[in-house]
DNA sequence: GTAGGGCGAATTGGATCCAATGTACAATAT
DNA sequence: ATATTGTACATTGGATCCAATTCGCCCTAC
């Protein structure tokens, strides 16, 4: 229990949060060159915390750094998008399997509340966060914290593209809502195997849609996705 | 192929490499308080690159940092060790499955060479690296770079304990050697399902041994593994 | 004797300054 | 005209300096 008003966040963390937001929202597009002074001046801080933030973001895979050349918003290839979603499916099913025997009625009610909230949400970003919250609520009882951290890292990398897709197809929201409701129902039924099957289908259908969208986008604008890394 | 004598590494990277080595080897034991000037003075550099290195190590999960309190070598609970190995099994089997159809004779020969080298190696650290190299050689054809990165991150966290185990039981080396040879044989046979099964058994038996060892160590010295994080 | 408060040393976080390196442009030679 | 080289500028990496916060110790009061 800490008094938030007194204990303010380190500047470096604030900077990394802002930069992460800028990258996520597309304000800093993929491939963009990031200069330390520019960021420092924009945010009214020195270059030191900016450097720290860049280190953090590099570790998160959101940017790449080259010696004496600077930082660039990470590009991501179509193959990597595909791989990420395959990995997500693998990890999420693993989490769900391990969570199922430990999911309580209270967990289900929390999840249900999130589902209802998501129906009433029009803001795309908020809805996405609720989507993630729903899944995490069902995974948390597994108590596999490391796996959930790893999953969070993956989500961080692909959120950009997922966000883009959600923004243009709100119909997916209803589809996802129905599927979430179905998942809750089948969890209550007690059929664990069927629940995992349904969850896998849900995740993979979602993945397919995102990949389809990114593929189409890549066709329309080949520059948005680099086929090869590091073209000098 | 780079001329190492001309293009020298950034100091920050050198520092993080050294610290990583110190943590891995146990020279910096779990829970140890790390002070920036101490490291800086020891290595003859300023605090700036040390700070960067600490950031990197925190992202890798090897240390934790608390505002104005400093950095501490990460403690890891028995539950986390168990989880890590379950995750490793999941990821490695996934990689192996996807690699199998693409493994060429050349890959097998490289793997075989590593197996032979490992037999002739007495140094525990070198042997461990060869062990990792063997597995990675078999996973690389999957071209799932993100998954391999994730796996590397996991290996980084548990290497400390694995290393400890290897140091005291060289008999495991022979067992592992035989199993590696078996895996190569069954890959050549073309039975992919059997190959994955064997790989899973190999990984899990290895995991069991490490966990058993860590459990015993924890019993003998309860302080080495904290049951609860953050006891103030 | 013990609990509480305050002062000082130690340590981290952030800002500023200097050095090393890469890039771009221009001048010159072929 | 083009290629090459040299030089100036822009940007990052590293060192030093100052501010903010924590922890330990001692002193005091009850």
Per-residue pLDDT tens over the stretch A154-211: 998 888 877 776 665 677 788 899 999 999 999 999 999 999 999 999 999 988 888 8
pLDDT at B2: 35
pLDDT at A8: 59
For residues A73-92, average pLDDT: 93
Tens-place pLDDT, residues A33-42 = 999 999 999 9
- Per-residue confidence at B163, pLDDT binned at 50, 70, 90? confident
pLDDT at A179: 96
Region for residue B123 given its phi and psi (left: phi exceeds 0; alpha: psi -120 to 50; beta: otherwise): beta
- Kind and range of the H or E run holding B76: none
Residue B69: CB less than 7 A from any atom in strand D: yes
Dihedral angle, C-alpha B184, B189, B194, B200, nearest 10 °: 10
B40 touching A (Cβ < 8 Å):
no
User: Residue A34: phi, psi to the nearest 5?
Assistant: -105, 120
For residues B46-70, average pLDDT: 94
Indicate yes or no: CB of B55 within 8 angstroms of CB of A60.
no
Nearest in space to B74 (alpha carbons), one of B84, B87, B65: B65
Nucleotides of chain C in contact with protein CB (under 7 A) are 11-17, 20-23
pLDDT at B218 over 50: yes
> B73: which strand partners?
B63
A229 touching B (Cβ < 8 Å):
no
Residues of B in contact with A144 (CB under 8 A): 83, 86-87
pTM (predicted TM-score):
0.87
Positive or negative: CA dihedral B44, B50, B52, B57: positive
**How far from chain centre, in Å, is Cα B210?**
13
């Amino acid at each position: 229990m800490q008094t938030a008003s007194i204990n303010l966040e380190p500047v470096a963390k604030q900077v990394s949060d802002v930069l992460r937001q800028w990258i996520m929202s597309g304000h800093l597009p993929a491939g963009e060159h990031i200069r330390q002074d520019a960021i420092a001046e924009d945010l009214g801080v020195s270059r030191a915390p900016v450097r720290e933030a860049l280190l953090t973001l590099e570790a998160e895979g959101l940017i790449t750094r080259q010696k004496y050349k600077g930082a660039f918003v990470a590009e991501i290839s179509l193959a990597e998008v595909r791989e990420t979603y395959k990995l997500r499916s693998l990890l999420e099913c693993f989490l769900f399997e391990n969570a199922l025997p430990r999911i309580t009625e209270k967990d289900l009610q929390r999840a249900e509340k999130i589902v209802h909230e998501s129906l009433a949400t029009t803001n795309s970003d908020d809805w996405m966060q609720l989507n993630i919250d729903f899944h995490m609520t069902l995974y948390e009882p597994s108590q596999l914290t490391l796996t959930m951290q790893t999953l969070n890292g993956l989500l961080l990398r692909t959120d950009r593209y997922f966000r883009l897709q959600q923004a243009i197809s709100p119909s997916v929201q209803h589809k996802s809502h129905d599927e979430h409701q179905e998942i809750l129902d089948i969890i209550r039924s007690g059929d664990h195997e069927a629940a995992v099957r349904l969850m896998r289908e849900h995740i993979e259908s979602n993945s397919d849609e995102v990949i389809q969208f990114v593929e189409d986008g890549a066709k329309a604008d080949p520059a948005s996705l680099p086929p090869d890394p590091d073209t000098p």
